[in-house]
Structures are given as C-alpha cells and as structure tokens.
Structure 1
C-alpha cells in the first residue's frame, strides 16, 4: 500500500503489544524470518529497545523494515513530542521511523494539536517518513482536519469481524487515510465464531489466517500479534488465497457490536475528546 504522502507500507504488520521485553527480540526475529517487514511498537509497550535489537541483528537493510512507533499519550506537547521521538529513535537504533503515531487522544492533557504540529515538523525534518493517529473517531478526525493542513497517513483503531468500523473506514477512504486494525482477531474471540471456522475450513486455512486475509481485502492493514512462533508464521501466510465476494458478504453480517466491547474496557479511565 501507499500512504497519502507517497510512502510504501507493507499490508500486514507484526505488533508487540503485551509481549514481554524479555521475549520481544526473539519474537520479532521470528516475525522477520517469517516474512513480516512491518513491525509495530510504542513507547508505552516498553519494548522499543528489544525491537531495535531484533532488527539490527536480523541483518536486513534498515530500509527493508517498516518501523512504527507511537508517542506516549501522557507526553503530549510540542517540545516533548520531539524529545520523546529522539528517545524512541535511540532505543530503536535508527535515525528515523517510517510511521509515527499519536497513540491516544488524551484530551485531559489538552496538547494534542501541539503534538500534531510537532509531528508535522518531524516529518519535514526527515526524522519520520509519515505521521498518523490512533484511536480517533470520525468527529475527532473532522476536528483535526479543521486545525491542520496535514491529513494523517494512518488511523490505527480496534477493528475485527464483530466490530467492523464501517463509517470510520468510509471516512478514511474519502480522505486518503489508511485504516490499520489493532486487535484484528478480537483477542482470540473471533477464532471461536462458527461462520469463520467454517469459512477457514473451506479455504484450507486457520480462522486467524482467514480473518487477517479478510482485513487485507477490506483494504486494512492488520497488526497481528502472537508470542507463539508457529502462529506468527501462520499469520504471515495470508497472501496465497483470496476470499470470494459472497464469503466477504457473509463476514460482513458478523458486525454486531456498535461500540467495541474491548475498547470500553481498555479506555475505562482514559480521557476521550
């Protein structure tokens, strides 16, 4: 895929959320060996340094690995955004990141726009190749568009078969924003769905492979995550089959949670707009 500022981005990412730092280097190396070339981390995950080590030890040229990291939402502010990026670059052992995201809105800090303007400056300086947001709704994005001439390259949000974010995806398409999906398997709950299990069997794939492929065919970039090497390798093998139109429609009927239950749990105590 290509971002709205002309940067190529692999359409499947490996995420390291909740992978302990002690295991992150190993798991990222497994992911790279399996063919992943897009690694997604964040300051608050506490494993940027281990991601950097894995990429450095892989022997892959830096330009062959797309690295995403995210600003700690408690560190918003123009000056602090640049300072925090420098710390992330040091830990990741690189002079730039390919995608830098503002992780959560955190309106209680009331400095989101200052951070966004800092990101624009970091983009102009070449310290990041593209900038984006995470966990913004349509009203949030409309507000940001009214404050800035720079459209986010990406909005990374919860998205899985039971929470398909149709209105948000439509808005993204109208503005050239790429949809990235965190929690693409609904923390394993989607793997238990009988419809998805039956379709996976039909295509000779695992339910996880089917769901990740569905994400890709929607035009999303799924950020899969596992700390099991065999599953990491399985989840990377999603580009050798295609779900037909009728089956894509069947999956569309599974969209039954208009709010996203995991988000309600995760965002308890987190300020929103």
Structure 2
C-alpha cells in the first residue's frame, strides 16, 4: 500500500499529508464514501459539524476494523457555536458521533463581523484540547491579523490553519505567516472546484508526465508541503487522487504552476464572511 508522508504539527501530533474530504457528501452516503476511501488506502478524513455527516464518518471508521491509532480524524466547530459553553458542548457531541476523541478540531471560520469574539472561541478550543476531546486544535480560514491576535492573547498557536489554496489562489501571505509560526497549512478547494483542470500550463505538465491535471495539481500542493484532502465519491477518482507519490514535479513545474495565481477565490472572503446557521 502507498505510504502517505506525514507532517508533524503542534501538540506532538503527526498528520497524513493526503486525506479524504467529505464536504458536500450527503449524510446518507457518507459511510459508504468513507468506507471506499479507507479501502483505497486513505487514513485521514476531514469533516465538520456544518457538513452534517460526522455520524457517517464515525460509522465507517467503526465498521472498518482499523485501529483508531491508524486513523486521523479532523472536524470543525460550527459557526453557531462560538460561545464558550456552546463550543464545549458541541465538541462532546462531535466526539460521540465520531466514535472517540478527534485528532484535530478547528474553528471553522473566524466570523470577525459578528458579536461573538473568535478570541473567546479560541480559548474554548484550548479547554476542549485540555479536556481530551481532541489531540490538537487549529483554525480554518484565519487571516494573518486573526492569527496574530489569538496567539498574542493566549500564547497558544494553532496546530494548523486550513485555508483556500490552489494555483489560482496561492494565498502566499497567509501560508508564509503559517510557516513562520510553525502552523501547518491545510489547503481546501485544492483544484479550485475543477477550475484549474483545463489550464494549458498544468495540462502540458500532465501530458509530459503521463498524469492527469488533477494529479499534477495535488502533487504541486504536496511538494509545497500543504496538507490536502480532495473530495470525490467516484471510486476511480478517489483512487486517482491517491496516486501522487510515484512521480515528482521539477522546480520549474512548481514555479510555472505557482505563477498562475490570480487571487481568485472559489469561496467566501474570511475578512467579511459572517454566515451563522439558524
């Protein structure tokens, strides 16, 4: 079986650099999708309270027969639970649905324009970690000022920052700050929801290497030390996304793909996004 590289993050935890994402996977088909991914060889699953499919992830992990220490499970705090008491209560519910303590728990969005301060939420996350509900804590979609503030106020750095990164949004400022602070970067929307797959520059590299444009793009992330978790429910695509470790891009390839940056987001702007589910 392919050996996926691991990245050492804060709190003495190592995370597989390639995982399986379940964003937009319907709850009723999540167990089947995660089971398929585990059969292919994935051992890292990324979910969130907001996705509504933690139970399906937990059911698949339990049914797999794999030891829990062979698996890495990430979830994220829903935007409606930023107050301290809500965060602690809902973290316990995530643990119950997932069948045991999480490996990584993230604040999903900073929500800087709403009345619940994300600093309060980060302090709650520290309590959640210290209570043993998760091995490590981090954030998602945090910009540099958000990171600077929580670190300055608590002295606790996130283990990871999960942000939108792809060839059309290289997000270098946040990635550089993450690296400076020892915060691992996780890249969501790694192929820009498919927007980069027809790019001529990426297609030329793929043709030369005998790989798909998706594989080349994901390999670009891997060689830049991002953690990625592409999502698909099609077995052939799930298998294709896992086949990233039998080839390498040259430095020129990486530079050419990085040069495609357009600062183009496929998702919300973290500085203004304030969606809170009813």
Question: 1:34/1:19 Cα in 2 relative to 1: closer, same or farther (>3 Å)?
Answer: same
1:127 to 91, 109, 133: 133
1:103 aligns with 2:105: no
Q: Which residue of 1 aligns with 2:4?
A: none
Deviations 1:194-221 (A, max 9, x none): 1111111111111111111110110100
Secondary structure of the residue aligned to 2:197 is: helix
Deviations 1:41-91 (A, max 9, x none): 000100000000111111110111100000001111111111001111111
Secondary structure of the residue aligned to 1:243 is: coil
2:195 to 189, 194, 197: 189
Question: 1:179/1:55 Cα in 2 relative to 1: closer, same or farther (>3 Å)?
Answer: same
1:34 aligns with 2:50: no
The CA deviation at 1:264 is 4.8
Note the residue ranges of structure 2 that are not aligned, 5 or more in a row.
1-6
TM-score (norm. length: structure 1):
0.94
Deviations 1:160-185 (A, max 9, x none): 00100111111011000000001001
The CA deviation at 1:35 is 1.2
Secondary structure of the residue aligned to 2:229 is: strand
After superposition, the CA RMSD in angstroms is 1.6
Please give the alpha-carbon distance, in whole angstroms, between the structure 1 residues aligned to 2:137 and 2:22.
Answer: 19
Deviations 1:68-117 (A, max 9, x none): 000001111111111001111111111x1000000011231423222211
Please give the alpha-carbon distance, in whole angstroms, between the structure 2 residues aligned to 1:87 and 1:5.
Answer: 22
Please give the alpha-carbon distance, in whole angstroms, between the structure 1 residues aligned to 2:275 and 2:125.
Answer: 22
Which range moves more in the overlay, 106-115 or 18-27? 106-115
Which range moves more in the overlay, 42-51 or 17-26? 17-26
Q: Which residue of 1 aligns with 2:256?
A: 250
Residues 79 and 275 of structure 2 are in contact (CA less than 8 Å); yes or no, is this contact kept in structure 1?
no
1:148 to 144, 149, 154: 154
Secondary structure of the residue aligned to 1:53 is: helix
Question: What stretches of structure 1 move > 3 A for 4+ residues in a row?
Answer: 267-271
Note the residue ranges of structure 1 that are not aligned, 5 or more in a row.
none
1:214 aligns with 2:212: no
**1:19-168 superposed matches below 5 A:** 19-94=25-100, 96-107=101-112, 108-168=114-174
Please give the alpha-carbon distance, in whole angstroms, between the structure 2 residues aligned to 1:264 and 1:150.
Answer: 25
Secondary structure of the residue aligned to 1:170 is: helix
Q: Which residue of 2 aligns with 1:270?
A: 275
Deviations 1:134-163 (A, max 9, x none): 001111111112211110000001100010
Residues 186 and 227 of structure 2 are in contact (CA less than 8 Å); yes or no, is this contact kept in structure 1?
yes
